[in-house]
Amino acid sequence: MPSWDQVLKEIQSQVGPLDAVRRKYLKQLSRYTGRNTIAYYSGWLSAQRLSPIHSISDEDKNAFMSAIKGSDRDRGLDLILHTPGGDAAATESIVDYLRKMFGTNIRAVVPQLAMSAGTMIACACSEVIMGKESNLGPIDPQFNGIPANGVLKEFKQAVERIKKDPAEQPLWQAIIGKYHPTFLGACENAVKWSETIVTEWLRTGMLQDDDQAPATVQRIVHGLTDDEETFNHARHIHVEALEDLGLKIKRLEDDDKLQDLVLTVHHAFMHTFSMTSCLKIVENDRGITMARIERPPQPRPPGM
């Protein structure tokens, strides 16, 4: 009969139906494309409350390292993205790592939503595979929900109005007085940082062979960062608008088999989030998975 350790290993080796279905279709997708495939999924849409774990963070690099280990990097990478975005520094670091592993032979696949920093990752890829139901989002930096671009424009407007009519100073003082100089500087740096890294990723990746690259890059970055164009950080930008900006988009509808496989993978992940307490999953076509599970709060000891 098996020992304690052997029984434990047998239990740990069992794959649940949700895991089995996801891995089955990820493998089928990879076989069809002939490329390494990694799904990066956040469960924020089905969450009762948002958690920092839902967002892109430095911790995710460990998951990507595990998913990439042992892969044939000459096959390139298809990165399936479903994320609300997250930390800019973590995003920059993850993109740098992925490019070290696969160069620019990385395609972003967006079955539904890749917002904010997720859009930045998509811009770092050679092309973005999207369907009619897919959206990217603005990449303007936010501070606790406050748009950095909006702060800078409001402050500039106040200065111009006061110069034009000093009598308006008391009216604007209440508005601009809430912005500490260091906060304004942080907003300027955040905007510059976001625009700089996305410009570089587009220039060296998606648009590296484009004769009109400088103008196209400028149009894309402006279209994704200017709040007068996007109106709101949560804006869902559709395929047609992204194509008009100059992003290289491959339509899912142009390949029925690819569309079926991508959407089936997407449905499998969304079912996992709706039926479990899982917050985030990074999983590859070889069944290597790193998942973050929501843990219930621990009761406090008596007297605490």
Q: Each residue of 31-80: pLDDT tens digit?
A: 999 999 999 999 999 888 888 899 999 999 999 999 999 999 999 999 99
Query: Rounded distance, CA 57 to CA 59, Å?
Result: 5
Q: How far apart are CA 138 and CA 48, in angstroms?
A: 24
Query: For all residues of the chain together, what is the average pLDDT?
Result: 88
pLDDT at 16: 84
The secondary structure element, H or E, covering residue 40 is: strand 36-42
Q: How far apart are CA 6 and CA 12, in angstroms?
A: 10
> Where residue 247 falls among pLDDT bands split at 50, 70, 90?
very high
Select the more confidently predicted residue: 141 or 238.
238
Segments making up each domain of the chain, as ranges: 16-137+236-296, 140-213+222-230
| In contact, 245 and 219? CB cutoff 8 Å | yes
Q: Which residue from 49, 58, 110 is spatially nearest to 237, judged by alpha carbons?
A: 110
Write the DSSP string, 117-144.
Answer: HHHHHHHTSSEEEE-TT-EE-----EET
Percent of the chain residues topping a pLDDT of 70: 86
Strands 278-284 and 36-42: antiparallel
Report the pLDDT averaged over residues 137-158: 74
pLDDT at 265: 97
Q: Which class would CATH give 16-137+236-296? A: alpha beta
Say what the pLDDT of residue 124 is.
Answer: 98
pLDDT of residue 297: 53
**pLDDT per residue over 270-300, tens digit each?**
999 999 999 999 999 999 999 998 765 555 5
Which pLDDT score is estimated for 5?
A: 66
* pLDDT in the model for residue 2: 64
Task: Say yes or no to pLDDT of 191 above 90.
Answer: no
Strands (DSSP E) contained in 148-298 are 249-251, 278-284, 289-293
> What is the per-residue pLDDT for 12?
54
Kindly tell me if the per-residue pLDDT of 255 is higher than 90. Answer: yes
Which of 100-104, 143-147, 210-214, 298-302 is predicted most confidently? Answer: 100-104
Q: Residue 186: its pLDDT value, please?
A: 81
pLDDT category at 180 given cuts 50, 70, 90 is confident
pLDDT over 60 (residue 11): no
How many angstroms separate the CA atoms of 20 and 7, rounded? 21
Question: Is the per-residue pLDDT at 228 higher than 70?
Answer: no
d(C-alpha 245, C-alpha 45), whole Å:
27
